[in-house]
Structure 1
Amino acid sequence: MNNKLAPHIEELTKALESISTNIGESQIQEELEKLLDFRVPLDEAKRTIIRKYMSASMPVMKIRDITAGLKGFEVTGRIIDVTEKSVNLRGKDTIIFSGTLADEDGACSFTAWSNYSLKIGDIIRIKNAYSRSWHNRSEVNFGERSHVEKLPDDVLPSIDELTKTPVKKLREVANTDLSVSSVAVILEFSHRNVNVKGEEVTIVEGVLADETAKLPFTSWVPLDGLDIGSTIRFEKASVRMFRGVPSLNLNDNTTINAVDASTEELPFTFESANMVPESVPISEIIEKDGMFDVIALGNIISIRPGSGIITRCPDCNRVIQKNTCRVHGTVESVKDMRIKAILDDGTGAISVMLNRELSEITYGRSMAEAENIIQKAMSQDAVFEDMRQVLTGKYLAVRGNTSSTEFGVMLVAKSAWMPDNNINERVNALMKRLGNNKEEEADNG
């Protein structure tokens, strides 16, 4: 190998590792030498090789389809805003550029780890981008191993068009929405005082619903004259994400008007919007980062370690061992009981967390009775083992919110019950689902 080319070949190899492991040094060397033989300047030859392999192997993503943890993809968007920042990276001050990137389907934040001279309004095509989770949203990242190309202004709609607040049903609200407008009825409504920059502020929290879904909301402005049962039309409510679930923020930029449901025809009423939701197949639940107010049914296939009698920190409620909290040090612990279970319905499996009240109902024993089991057995694991024997295989229904964690999807239950275990109905539902799957396969085949 030409010693002068060695560092450049090594640089190219590292740059292309994230795209494919099948691109070897010898292949890169051959292509680089061929380009140099044709008198192509070294820097341009390197860019040509990177563009070639990026174009051949990278998936092209729309912003709405980007999830955290992706690597080596291509995305095109318009810069809505951009800010230069100085951050400390491995002990060294580094200049980065962060802002908002948008296309016709949505918007997301971005961080550029190299200076691409980005300006508001620029349309850029990014190759070899990667994504991460930032403030509960997917963020596009790109740097020295990425290729950024500025495109003509007519490739995407104008900033005004891309930032126009869409009118959506609540089910359609996603993490790529910066703000939304909609019509919904208030199902839950309460006031809470919070401290903001040393000043006490009263906010309104609750739940909004339409015929498609329910979503939590927070209002930073007074909602005089409104209460549970009121229907509102809101415009430019900002969208925040928490554990994969969108939340609507009503603020000074939001227009809020009461709707007279008796004179305006709506596809929902308070009663219909407040109905108990239908159960959802677990396969659908695990496809989403989070869902609000969902019901899942399935068999308990495992009781996980950490179930049974536990102790918590009285200050932060963390689960602790030996009266020691990693935040508050030595504390006087508070006893609690919980169940961590794996629920499987044949389409998929999720983790389920039951608090003390729901654990007592599901387990069939109170916390006091569980403590007696520990005392008699003289083992802290006695309740956990008993829960495994009592609950494994049981058919359980749970209702609550789901979120995606590093260990999979977790449902924190607000209610739980043992439904009628009608085997015939379950078999028929399974056969119907299998029949639909076969029809889809036949259509695709």
Structure 2
Amino acid sequence: MQPLAYRMRPTTLDDVVGQEHLIGPGKIIRRMVEARLLSSMILYGPPGIGKTSIASAIAGSTKYAFRKLNAATDTKKDLQIVAEESKMSGTVILLLDEIHRLDKTKQDFLLPLLESGKIILIGATTENPYISISPAIRSRCQIFELNPLSAHDVEKAIKRSLVDKEKGLGKYHAELTDAALQMLIDKGNGDLRATLNGLELAVTSTYQELKQEKKEPSHIKIDAAEMGNSIQMKSQNYDQNGDGHYDLVSAFQKSIRGSDTDAALYYLAQLCESGDLPAIFRRLLVIAYEDIGLANPAACQHTTSAVQAANMVGLPEARIILANAVIELCLSPKSNSAINAIDTALADVRENKNDPIPDHLKDSHYKGAEKLGHGINYLYPHDYPGDWTAQQYLPDNLVGRSYFKPKGNSKYEKVLKKQYETLSKLQKDGLKNK
């Protein structure tokens, strides 16, 4: 018999639990399905939160043929079979699991099929597609991040499975005590697939035990002890709102930012225990450049090297490399001057979208540029002493705007601060005299 999680797989979007930001009324995937204007997409997020379910529901809602392959284990020949089917019967929705492991041969075969629309690709991955998936595939797909399921979503799926007599466990007339239900939700770690399969084991094994005792149960009640013997305990728990993972990486970053080495190592240990290396890599790189930044550029370089090395060796050895990086970041001088600078500049860009670039900075490498006044009077810095001369670079209404506010928390940043202030003053004085 197929596992409960497989049997309960949704056939319409209304059957999917969670992911309201994508499939709720008026949201993007529901709009695509209702308008029958599907495009290829990549769904990413932790295991068991609905990637396959959404793909299955899209296929069921559109009545297109649905095929499932694995990018790591299925071959180019398997893809060719799907391609032939699309020629014979029309559009096929292909769920390609572990799409981050798609090799170049399979990728080159798929690309023209995606362009023609004969195959609607739904790639599923637990890894960040912006890091792990090739740009060629990524550019042809919309990317949607799935959220961890809330406790309410998981409870809804559990109760649905308990009463469904056709595909679920309804024939057993099973009931969970409040403690057993809470344990199943908590220890499922947001992984609905594992949660439902644990539920099935609890119900069917309890039923078999009662039968062996010569009882014909018309009703089964499962307590916390029986549930505990039927599910695998997971090390990382999601809280009631389903955002425990995000709380964990947030605590990790804030501990490093606050220079608390012991707390940062504790949260690193939790992340390592969860096995989510891509999340650790991404967060460490962000921390290095956001919170340490120009106070210690060497630490940023060391973190990048550590991430690359940890990715090469994998867990459990990766923990040693990552611990080195975390300790250095914690004990390093800190500066957020770079993120503050770019965010201030972004705010100006968003508020002054039509500010023109000064004519002398515009491209002049084409015939007719001079007639437009482009590139005229541009001063080539290398023609001047010190390879510098004062001229206007910012748009007219932003002249004199200062984005970079160096803190001088380290010797390196103090040097940058002095140079920045010197050049800013020279620029201001030079423009005044022109």
Q: Tell me the TM-score normalized by structure 2.
A: 0.24
Looking at both structures, which has the greater relative contact order when contacts are Cα pairs under 8 Å and sequence separation is at least 6? 2
Report the structure, 1 or 2, having the larger strand content: 1
Higher helix residue share: 2
